[in-house]
């Protein structure tokens, strides 16, 4: 069972973009043909989408190491500040500008939501592939989750008002809380019981291999405590790695089902106005272009290390669209969920392209460091 799960998770991760595109292609004709079903079961579809959004988020929240925030915040002050500015100021403001060129008000509001939500579950994986600073990325991911509870409803509410659409900010805040805070709390509680607590139990048992338990003779209590903490972290790492294929598989499967439901629910609009899809994709590419260009300029200006740059860029670019989907169905309208369904088809392409450009990024930042 474990080997098959590992192979399936690896397969889906490798061909995720293809499956997302296939998901969209299949969802459009099915949704268009069964439009009567979605109209007749509006509330049930809404609750299913919300449940899928929470289910998509939950596995990734188990993997977040919230306990690692303190040290990285103290050491990487400038890098953390730049990352937060990109996440909470640049991306949403550029999205508000670009949304004005989307030929549908409700879809435009959804586009702002799609860029005001926190980092995606795949962000840390992209950072790892790019050999970036995973600790910095984790800190930014957690801060983006905390900040989005306030920032996302405010940005979406402000933009909605600017295009003469009335959406109560309280309803937007409620949707973000349900879709984001609930899985975050549940994920961290699960992490405590499945990883941290189990690691301490295993440390006392005979089930752990010696590399994690081998604490040699030391000179003082402080050194002993430090080595004991290292042993616990070693075991936690092993447990996390053993859980990762299952959590990744669950996230990808729930995401594919969610995208299918979002597209099928508004297939009629896409069939009648296919240019909307092009508007969303074009606007999203504008957001990516500005975020990347600004980060490169700032990285050169403060002589940022390549690893830190990569730790920031994927957190600033890749968003957790399941939160935007929940906001759309709960507070805005079903058409507003289209960006949340289409953006995941773009994110992997841009992220993988940026990873492929790593040698060029290395040269740019080495030049800025004078080396």
| Per-residue pLDDT tens digits for 53-65 | 888 888 878 877 7
Find the mean pLDDT for residues 330-345.
91
pLDDT tens-digit map of 287-319:
999 999 999 999 999 999 999 999 999 999 999
pLDDT confidence bin for 225, thresholds 50/70/90: very low
- Residue 1 confidence (pLDDT): 55
Complete DSSP assignment for 195-230 = IIHHHHHHHHSS-S-HHHH-----SSHHHHHHHHHH
- Tell me what pLDDT residue 248 has: 81
pLDDT range class, residue 214, cuts 50, 70, 90: low
**pLDDT of 75 higher than 80:** no
CB-based burial of residue 66 (10 Å sphere; 0-12 exposed, 13-18 middle, 19+ buried)?
A: middle
2-365: CATH architecture: Up-down Bundle (1.20)
Q: Whole-model pTM above 0.85?
A: no
Q: Between 135 and 308, where is the model more confident?
A: 308
Overall average pLDDT of the 151-172 stretch: 92
213 band by pLDDT with thresholds 50, 70 and 90: low
Amino acid 217: pLDDT: 47
- Note the pLDDT of residue 279: 95
Residue 220 has pLDDT above 70, yes or no: no
Rounded mean pLDDT, 72-96: 88
Rounded to the nearest integer, the mean pLDDT of the chain is 84
The Cα 92–Cα 97 span in angstroms is 9
Q: Pick from 244, 306, 260, 205: which is nearest to 38 by CA?
A: 260
pLDDT at position 223 is 52
pLDDT in tens, 239-278: 777 777 888 888 889 889 989 999 999 899 889 888 999 9
């Amino acid at each position: 069972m474990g080997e098959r799960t590992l192979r399936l998770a690896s397969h889906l991760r490798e061909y995720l973009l293809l499956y997302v595109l296939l998901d969209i292609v299949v969802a459009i004709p099915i949704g268009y043909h069964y439009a009567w079903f979605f109209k007749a079961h509006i509330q049930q579809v809404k609750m299913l989408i919300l449940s899928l959004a929470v289910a998509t988020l939950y596995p990734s929240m188990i993997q977040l190491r919230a306990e690692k925030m303190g040290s990285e915040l103290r050491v990487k002050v400038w890098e953390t500040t730049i990352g937060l500015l990109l996440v909470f100021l640049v991306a949403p403001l550029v999205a508000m500008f670009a949304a004005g060129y989307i030929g549908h008000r409700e879809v435009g509001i959804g586009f702002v939501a799609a860029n005001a939500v926190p980092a995606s579950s795949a962000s840390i994986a992209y950072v790892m592939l790019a050999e970036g600073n995973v600790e910095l990325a984790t800190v930014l991911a957690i801060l983006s989750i905390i900040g989005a509870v306030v920032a996302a409803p405010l940005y979406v509410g402000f933009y909605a008002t600017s295009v003469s659409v009335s959406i109560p900010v309280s309803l937007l805040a409620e949707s973000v809380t349900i879709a984001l805070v609930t899985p975050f709390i549940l994920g961290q509680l699960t992490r405590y019981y499945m990883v941290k607590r189990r690691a301490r139990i295993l440390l006392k048992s005979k089930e752990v291999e010696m590399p994690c338990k081998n604490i040699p003779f030391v000179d003082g209590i402080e050194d002993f405590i430090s080595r004991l903490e290292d042993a616990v972290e070693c075991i936690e790492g092993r447990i996390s790695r053993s859980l990762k294929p299952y959590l990744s598989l669950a996230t990808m499967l729930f995401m594919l089902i969610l995208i299918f439901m979002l597209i099928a629910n508004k297939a009629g609009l896409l069939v009648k106005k296919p240019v909307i899809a092009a508007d969303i994709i074009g606007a999203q590419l504008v957001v990516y272009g500005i975020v990347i260009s600004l980060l490169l300029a700032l990285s050169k200006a403060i002589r940022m290390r390549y690893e830190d740059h990569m730790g920031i860029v994927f957190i600033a670019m890749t968003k957790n669209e399941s939160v935007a989907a929940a906001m759309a169905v709960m507070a805005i309208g079903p058409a507003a969920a289209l960006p949340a369904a289409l953006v995941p088809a773009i994110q992997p392409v841009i992220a993988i392209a940026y990873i492929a450009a790593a040698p060029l990024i290395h040269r740019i930042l080495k030049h800025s460091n004078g080396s």
